[in-house]
Structure 1
Amino acid sequence: MSDESGARPAPAPGPLVFRNDPSDGFGRYHDLVGASGAATARRGEIFEATVAAHNAPGVMLFDRQIVGAEHRREPAHIRRDGFEHFYLQVLRSGLLMTGPLGEEQWLAPGDAVLMDAAQPQRTVVVAADYVTVVLARPFVEAALPDARGLHGRRIPRAAFQGLATFQGLGDAVLSLARRVGDLDAEALSGAAGMMADLLAGVSPGGERRDDAVASASDRLRAVLFIDAHIARPGLDVAAVAAGVGLSRSALYRAFEAVGGVEREITRRRVARFRSALMRPGELRSIERLAFAHGFSSPGHCSRQFKATYGLTPGACRAGLREVQGGNAGLRLHHLRGWYGEIGSGA
């Protein structure tokens, strides 16, 4: 859309990209998370982090691929910084547990969680591809006056039908993340209102979905197996069922609510491929990376990548080279400024 002068609206600021440098280890990531008002620690021997950040009035969006990290916001952090924003956390794929301290729960792909920065919380990321949308408190409380009482509320993909455009709240967030690079600043700032409208459809009195314990356990074991064998071209339902000792029907039931087993295999392949593509010093061609992550062809990989992230692998890699050659890296002063603005309701 153009104004009367024919000029296009200014693009939204970002993305600003952070990727952990092996020579720096965990240090810069630790400092960046600290700017958001949380402590962080490594989980396990392997740590990887890629974060693409977008900012506009009233809203921030972080598209993350993280391996081996824990984020924790304690009462001391809350007293010190006074942050009062809300945020939605939505899992694309992988293993992520989040919630109020002592009440954390594993998410399934497409699940969303509403978190209140003014209350203690913890997130454990084993290996996950997920999106966080930070919202100014006035936007959320205008839609949900008792939003404080929904801290840690998990909104399953299948349990909420909002605007007809989306299959659920999580789907709306992931759709926004796919398209955010094409939005100008005005359009991105409107995302805060859209999220508030969708949140208004969440019933405060609604019950959390009660997943069968057996299905949740089966799904977790299967996801771990998929991640460990993601490079196998023949990885399919039969291979996963045999690998975790389940019947195919039990495996189908475990993944029914999140789109099926094959869908999860594809999601994890795409996420692991993207992490490799964005890794500092990665010199393999896109074709070699596609085959290394179990795709049947580079074309299949490209189609699945674009369907998930809104751009081709080639465009993603080209964008990263531009970032490396310029000053578009995510830095502490960016986050400090952004969180200050969102705290003021800007």
Structure 2
Amino acid sequence: MAELSRPDVHRFSTRDAPADERFDAWVASSTFCDFAAVYRSDIPFDAHREHVQIGPFVLARRTWRHPDASVSYDARRTAARIRADQRDVLSFSLQLNGSVALRSDGFASIKPPGELYVLDFGRVFERVITPGSEISLSVPRDLCPADADPWHGRSLTRGMASLFGHYLSHLYHTLPRLTARDLPHVAQATMHLLTATLLPGRDALIAANEPIQNVLMERVQRYIDTHLLRPDLTVDLICRDIGISRATLYRLFDHTGGIMREIRHRRLYRVHQVLSTPGRPWERIRDVALRHGFIDEKYFMRIFKAQFGHTPREAFERRQRLDEPGKFTQDSTNGDT
């Protein structure tokens, strides 16, 4: 049953150390950078790191929480470290929040939230890190384009870069649902997307087509869930805000019955959740349906029962019995469906 096991995620938190020793514990736990010797704050250093091996890649997340955004600490990749560990990888780092000031080879730049940038661990650099978090993907140099020198310190902002950054975030958040059997497929999809990001071209895009479609679909589904109550949730609005064409959007959901069916399906499930979850504020069924875009009551009743096998009223009555065990309250719909 090993194939059903979860990926082995390695975690380290400074909370396991005494408050006045937390920064020292963070420094001692790092094997790839040297840190400033002093942490200048009276607030305990609250930081967390985790990483997981996915084929040849290492996916990691670093989080440092502090109420004062102006504090910082230095992390330096020195020549001595490079000789000692011979870590020959490129790291693709997505800054989630907070910022990083990067200095290397005579250049300096600020990496703000949302920035995806490259670090070459075979070269000397220094980062000034403020409170926040980042996700990074470490890639062996031999899996990157032959000449990786121009990528060091560079922010990836065009073409596939936005999609690849979203993919890294999505991959991190889906780790709890992955099994060991999934990892080779995830590694292959990651490699295709990375290649299409660094070397955009017809062959790379063809190879990356499936993972690209999966990431785009997840982005659209998340957008729909966020905007379910908008009466103007239309194809044009989704295309504009996601940044894709109508043809692409239609292709994404062709196998599920179309984009409008996807919206209706997700609205139905949200209505069912509202009607059947105990403890929620009371609302008439017709008001809940109308708020979720179902104007025709008879049509709403028909598709609700077809989807869930019971009527909206039956879902609400089950909730009533859970809200008040042993007591069935007067029909709160007042005859409404």
Gaps of 5+ in 1: 1-5, 206-256, 258-298, 300-346
2:22 matched to which residue of 1? 25
8 Å contact 1:58–1:136 — kept in the other structure?
A: yes
CA 145–104 in structure 1, closer or farther in 2 if over 3 Å, else same = same
Aligned residues of 2:117 and 2:154 also touching (Cα < 8 A):
yes
Q: In structure 1, which of residues 35, 39, 50 is the aligned counterpart of residue 34 of structure 2? A: 39
The alignment partner of 2:196 has SS state of coil
Alignment of 1:207-222 (within 5 A): none
CA distance in 2, matches of 1:122, 1:188: 32
Does the alignment pair 1:160 with 2:159? yes
Flag the structure with more relative contact order, 1 or 2, with Cα contacts below 8 A and sequence separation at least 6.
Answer: 1
1:198-237 matches, cutoff 5 A: 198-202=193-197
**Which digits, 9 at most, give the CA deviation of each residue in 1:196-229, with x for residues without a partner?**
3233234579xxxxxxxxxxxxxxxxxxxxxxxx
The aligned length equals: 193
Q: Which residue of 2 aligns with 1:61?
A: 59
Distance 1:145 1:97, change over 3 A: same
Tell me the amino acid that sits aligned with residue 175 of structure 1. Answer: H
List aligned pairs for 1:62-81, cutoff 5 A. Answer: 62-66=60-64, 68-81=72-85
| 1:149 and 2:150 aligned | yes
2:90 to 78, 81, 86: 86
- For residues 266-301 of structure 1, what are the alpha-carbon distances to aligned partners after superposition, in whole Å with 9 as ceiling and x for unaligned? xxxxxxxxxxxxxxxxxxxxxxxxxxxxxxxxx9xx
CA-CA distance at 1:119 after TM superposition: 0.8
Q: CA deviation at 1:118?
A: 0.6
Query: What amino acid maps onto 2:77 in structure 1?
Result: R
Does the C-alpha gap of structure 1 residues 185 and 152 become closer, same or farther in structure 2, counting only changes over 3 Å?
Answer: farther
Shift of 1:65: 1.0
Aligned to 1:50: 48
How far residue 133 of structure 1 moved from its aligned partner, in angstroms, is 1.6
Tell which structure's C-alpha radius of gyration is larger.
2
Kindly indicate whether the alpha-carbon contact (under 8 Å) linking 2:14 and 2:23 is maintained by their aligned counterparts in 1.
no
Counterpart of 2:118 in structure 1 is 114
Partner Cα separation in structure 2 for residue 8 and residue 75 of structure 1 = 41
Deviation at 1:29, TM superposition (A): 0.8
One-letter amino acid matched to 1:94: G
Offset of residue 101 of structure 1 = 4.8
After superposition, give the CA deviation of every residue in 1:239-283 in whole Å (9 maximum; x if it has no partner): xxxxxxxxxxxxxxxxxx9xxxxxxxxxxxxxxxxxxxxxxxxxx
Instruction: Find the partner of 1:171 among 166, 187, 195.
Output: 166
Q: 1:19 to 1:114 in 2, by over 3 A?
A: same
SS at match of 1:80: helix
1:12 to 7, 14, 28: 7
Equivalent-residue separation in structure 2 for 1:48 and 1:149 (angstroms): 35
TM-score, normalised via structure 2 length: 0.50
Q: Is the 8 A contact 2:91 2:119 kept in 1?
A: yes
Q: What per-residue deviation string (whole Å, max 9, x for no partner) do you get for residues 309-340 of structure 1? A: xxxxxxxxxxxxxxxxxxxxxxxxxxxxxxxx
